[in-house]
Homo-oligomer: A and B are copies of this chain.
Amino acid sequence: MGTLETISEQRLHGGLQGFYRHHSQACAGAMRFAVYQPPQAARRRCPVLYFLAGLTCTEETATIKAGAQRLAAELGLVLVMPDTSPRGTGIAGATGDWEFGEGAGFYLDATGAPWSTHFRMASYVVDELPALIGAHFPVDTALSGICGHSMGGHGALTLALKNPGRYRSVSAFAPIVAPSQVPWGRKAFPRYLGDDQAAWADHDACELVRRQSFDGTILIDQGEADGFLEAQLKPELFDQACAEAGQPLLLRRHAGYDHSYWFIASFIDDHLRHHAAALGLL
């Protein structure tokens, strides 16, 4: 498990916003994450929502910009926001490209050298981080939900679909739903996973949902003024895949909203309530 280093802890909405660092076995290096503990966590173990951020982001981005803590404090929901990749890996080519490498881990376990040593965000988010959270924070690890934005939406959907029973609820903002078919995925997957596209399907929500449905309705919000909508996001592909697979999906399209955290902040409360209902808080 290892030790946990507290970077900072500050009072927020009657609870505690903290930033932490630890040595990750999965990622073979130091990792940072943020945890918001609502006031209720001072008295009992609370359900937990993991929020996965998108390309270029860190553990600070959604923590500062999503505005999720206010309602989390009312509901009694712990929020965990990890970084988007390992950092300081020293691998040639791991920095300097916002679409690949550090800041762009795609929430998968890389299988190709040299990435497979550090870029194991799936094992980190699904196994190592929750064990650490359960050991150090007042959470009920049996009551977990997962949410994400863009690349983090891809992470939330694929990790929830690949790990039945691990998450009680899943939602996403403007997720990458078909990475095998869009430029972001077709750039990152060959380097992380190799050229065999059969391996990519294990990390593609549109493919995964045809194999294994999620037990509950998936909530997705998408802005119609999102500059990445047509080339990278293509929510209609997931809509179709869910329809064919019999997967309940609530896909909401919002006129005028773009890909930014202003969009997330506008609808984060709906997502928190979606998770809170599945986690027994409503």
Residues on A facing B (Cβ under 8 Å): 10-14, 17, 64-65, 67, 69-70, 223, 225, 254, 256-258, 260, 262-263, 265-266
| B64 contacts A223, C-beta separation under 8 Å | no
Q: How many copies does the complex hold?
A: 2
| 14 A-B pairs with C-beta separation under 8 A | A10-B262, A11-B254, A11-B256, A11-B257, A11-B258, A11-B262, A11-B266, A12-B262, A12-B265, A12-B266, A17-B262, A67-B67, A67-B70, A70-B70
| A10 contacts B260, C-beta separation under 8 Å | yes
Contacts of A262 in B (CB 8 A): 10-12, 17
Other A-B contacts than A10-B262, A12-B262, 13 sampled, CB-CB below 8 A, are: A10-B258, A10-B260, A11-B223, A11-B257, A11-B258, A11-B262, A12-B263, A12-B266, A13-B265, A13-B266, A17-B262, A70-B70, A70-B265
Nearest 10 A/B pairs, CB to CB = A12-B262, A11-B256, A11-B257, A10-B262, A67-B67, A13-B266, A17-B262, A10-B258, A12-B266, A10-B260
